[in-house]
Structure 1
Amino acid sequence: MLTIYSMPVAVYCAKLRIILRHKATAFEELPPPGGYGSDAYYALVPSGNLPAMIHDGFMLSDSEAIAEYLEEAFPDISMLPQSVKLRAKAREFSRSHDTRLEPAVRAIYPQVAYATRDANAVIAGGALISKHLSSLALLLSANPLDTNRLWLCDCGFAVSFAWIKAFEAALDLPINWPEIVTDYDAHLQSFHVIAEELVAYQPAMDAYLEKAKPS
Structure 2
Amino acid sequence: MLTIYSVPVAAYCAKIRIMLDHKSIPFEQLPPPGGYGSDEYRAIVPSGNLPAMIHDGFMLSDSEAIAEYLEDAFPSIPMMPDTPKLRAKAREFSRSHDTRLEPAVRAMYPYVDFKTRDPDAVRNGGALVSKQLSSLGLLLSQNPLDTGTLWSCDCGFAVTFAWIKAFESAIDLPVTWPDIVVDYDMRLQSFRVVREELAAYQPAMDAYLEKAKPR
TM over 0.5: yes
SS at match of 2:134: helix
Residues 1:166 and 2:153 aligned together: no
CA distance in 2, matches of 1:36, 1:181: 33
Post-superposition offset of 1:172:
0.6
The CA deviation string for residues 78-114 of structure 1, in whole angstroms up to 9 with x for no partner, is 0000000000000000000000000000000000000
Give the whole-Å Cα distance in 2 for the aligned partners of 1:46 and 1:83.
34
Structure 1 residues 1-56: Cα deviation after superposition (integer angstroms, max 9, x where no partner)? 10000010011000000000000000000000011111110000000000000000
Counterpart AA for 2:116: T
Q: Following superposition of structure 1 onto structure 2, how do residues 8-157 of structure 1 map, counting pairs within 5 Å?
A: 8-157=8-157
Length, aligned pairs only: 215
Q: Distance in 2 between matches of 1:11 and 1:103?
A: 12
**Partner amino acid, structure 2, of 1:123:** R
Distance 1:171 1:61 in 2: 32
Report the secondary structure of 1:44's partner residue: coil
| Alpha-carbon distance in 1 for matches of 2:110, 2:39 | 26
Spell out the pairing of 1:165-184 with structure 2 (5 A cutoff): 165-184=165-184
Q: Deviations over 1:116-163 (max 9, x none)?
A: 000000000000000000000000000000000000000000000000
Following TM superposition, by how much is the alpha carbon of 1:168 offset from its aligned partner in structure 2, in angstroms? 0.2
Q: Deviations over 1:47-71 (max 9, x none)?
A: 0000000000000000000000000
Q: Name the SS of the counterpart of 1:186 in structure 2.
A: helix
In structure 2, the gaps of 5 or more residues are none
- What's the Cα RMSD here? 0.3
Which residues of structure 1 form unaligned runs of 5+?
none
Letter in 2 for 1:135: S
Q: Percent identity?
A: 77
- Residue by residue over 1:156-188, the C-alpha shift from the partner in whole angstroms, topping out at 9 and shown as x without a partner, is 000000000000001110000000000000000
Aligned to 1:214: 214
Secondary structure, in 3 states, of the residue corresponding to 2:154?
Answer: helix
> C-alpha separation between the residues in 1 aligned to 2:113 and 2:7?
20
Mapped to 2, the partners of 1:13 and 1:106 lie a distance apart of 14
Whole-Å separation in 2 of the counterparts to 1:180 and 1:37: 38
- The TM-score, its normalising length taken from structure 2, stands at 1.00
Return the TM-score normalized by structure 1: 1.00
**Alpha-carbon distance in 2 for matches of 1:121, 1:131:** 15
Give the match for residue 198 of structure 1.
Answer: 198
3-state SS of 1:193 partner? helix
* C-alpha separation in 1, matches of 2:161 and 2:103: 13
Structure 1 CA distance for aligned equivalents of residues 21 and 166 of structure 2? 24
